Structure 1
Amino acid sequence: MRSKGAQISIAIVCMVLGIMLAIQFKTTESYQANLVPARVEDLTQQVQSVSEERDALVEEVLSLREKLKNVRETDQAMADLQADLQDANMSAGLMAVEGPGVIITVNDNPREIQPGDNPNFSLVHDSDLLMLVNELKTSGAEAISINGERITAKSEIRCAGTLILVNWNRIGPPFVIKAIGNPDMLESGMLIKNGYMESLKVLGIQATIEKAEKITIPAYSGSVKFTFAQPVKYEEKAE
């Protein structure tokens, strides 16, 4: 009887364990079945989010490249404009410049004026300086000054009593003319036979020229305001 009762008890225990195992297996299977779709959906959302972030970054990179291109083009345009402005200022004499060239020194005839002599032949006149400046320009001078006064298109060289006016400033002898350019060409042009320097020396005017490796010429300091002259406006022709 005991043996039979024990067998029944063992059978009941086994049955209960079987039922519990079946329930556990069913629960696990159901949980995994529900977990897989949820995990896939979560991963899908993450992939979509990463793709959207990537597309946004790509658009930002393209935008930054376009902005960088525009900045570079603007910088280049500004650099070109600055270069053109610098060239214009140099041509107008509004900028101090330096370079090789020649220095010409002109002074009155040191000989005492004798009775019957014409004193005008012993003095350096405004016309003399003007002729020397013109010959320097013809010889290739890129910048010229007289006693520190920059010669520009608006500069005047004219007589003012015993002195000479340059840029409305009075200057007197000795007159130091500085010119930047090819030193050999400038010297050759000024010392040409029958040139103006030679004619000055014939009159006894002191005139010397020397080449220099580096000359500094100041900027024009006068007014550059135009009151009457205005730039011409050209109308675009219709195609």
Structure 2
Amino acid sequence: MKNILFGVLSVILGVLISMSVKEKSEIMSPMSIEKIENYNRELSVIENQINVDREIISHIKSSIEEKSSPEYLEEMKLSLQNELKELKILSGKYDIKGEGVIIEIDDSKDEDFKNTNLGVIHDIDIMIILNELKCAGVDAISINDIRVMGESEIKCMGPTVRVDGHSKATPFIIKAVGDMEMIYNMMNDKNSYLKLLESTYYMDVKIEKDKNIVIPKSDRRI
């Protein structure tokens, strides 16, 4: 009986030892070449992503350093100031001060044109002069201290000209703020419309430079 029990135990123990050796053998068995290649590919992808992340971080750091520099901050300040200036000009809600030119134009005093239709300043004459000023790159314009905007209405009303509902009589004083030398040279050119009025119809025309022109804010009453 003892021999039988011993035999059974021996068999069971043998089976258990065999199973244990087999499991350890599978765990410790070398990886296949295919698995190694897969791991290498995964590792390569991870390394590439790490390199990309490092480049992104480096770029962000450089950008932060650049935008924190005094030069960049000064550039941004000037840019914002210029943008604010443009918005103020476009809105017409603020007085505009600066250098530019003052143009004074009056009806002809010549006997041949005096009191004739050709010797009188019309709204079309004013509009052509304003267009030439705009071509000269002016920032702001006024007629007899009435601010002229892009949508301003200019009409002849007998001996006067109405600007956005304001009646103005001659002489007309047109002020323009901008590059003083450029505006003066263009308006004083022999081929300008002002010179045409002066030389052909003998209208009184004066153009002068001024470094302290004030263009009032818009006051439309239409």
Taking structure 2 as the reference length, what is the TM-score of the superposition?
0.59
Render the CA deviation track for 1:83-103: whole Å, top value 9, x for unaligned: 866642322322101000000
- AA at the equivalent of 2:210: A
Q: Distance in 2 between matches of 1:181 and 1:83?
A: 14
Which residue among 167, 170, 176 is the counterpart of 2:167? 170
**Would you say 1:220 and 2:218 are equivalent positions?**
yes
Indicate conservation of the 8 Å contact 1:141/1:186, yes or no.
yes
Pick closer, same or farther for the CA change 1:185–1:83 going to 2, 3 Å. Answer: closer
What RMSD over aligned residues (CA atoms) do the two structures have, in Å?
Answer: 2.5
SS in 2 for 1:119: coil
Render the CA deviation track for 1:17-75: whole Å, top value 9, x for unaligned: xxxxxxxxxxxxxxxxxxxxxxxxxxxxxxxxxxxxxxxxxxxxxxxxxxxxxxxxxxx
Q: Distance in 2 between matches of 1:195 and 1:111?
A: 21
- AA at the equivalent of 1:89: K
Unaligned runs of 5+ in 2: 1-78
Indicate conservation of the 8 Å contact 1:92/1:153, yes or no.
no
**Would you say 1:127 and 2:124 are equivalent positions?**
yes
Corresponding residue for residue 196 of structure 1: 193
Percentage of identical aligned residues:
36
Taking structure 1 as the reference length, what is the TM-score of the superposition?
0.55
Unaligned runs of 5+ in 1: 1-79, 225-239
- AA at the equivalent of 2:120: L
Q: Distance in 2 between matches of 1:137 and 1:83?
A: 19
Bigger mean CA offset, 83-92 vs 142-151: 83-92
- AA at the equivalent of 2:128: M
Q: Distance in 2 between matches of 1:204 and 1:113?
A: 9
Pick closer, same or farther for the CA change 1:183–1:86 going to 2, 3 Å. Answer: closer
Corresponding residue for residue 180 of structure 1: 177
Render the CA deviation track for 1:149-199: whole Å, top value 9, x for unaligned: 101012111111221110111101000000001111001111223210111
Q: Distance in 2 between matches of 1:183 and 1:100?
A: 6
Higher-Rg member (1/2): 1
Indicate conservation of the 8 Å contact 2:89/2:139, yes or no.
no
Corresponding residue for residue 146 of structure 2: 149
Q: Distance in 2 between matches of 1:111 and 1:83?
A: 46
Q: Distance in 1 between matches of 2:209 and 2:80?
A: 34
1:1-239 mapped onto 2 (5 Å cutoff):
87-112=86-111, 119-201=116-198, 202-222=200-220
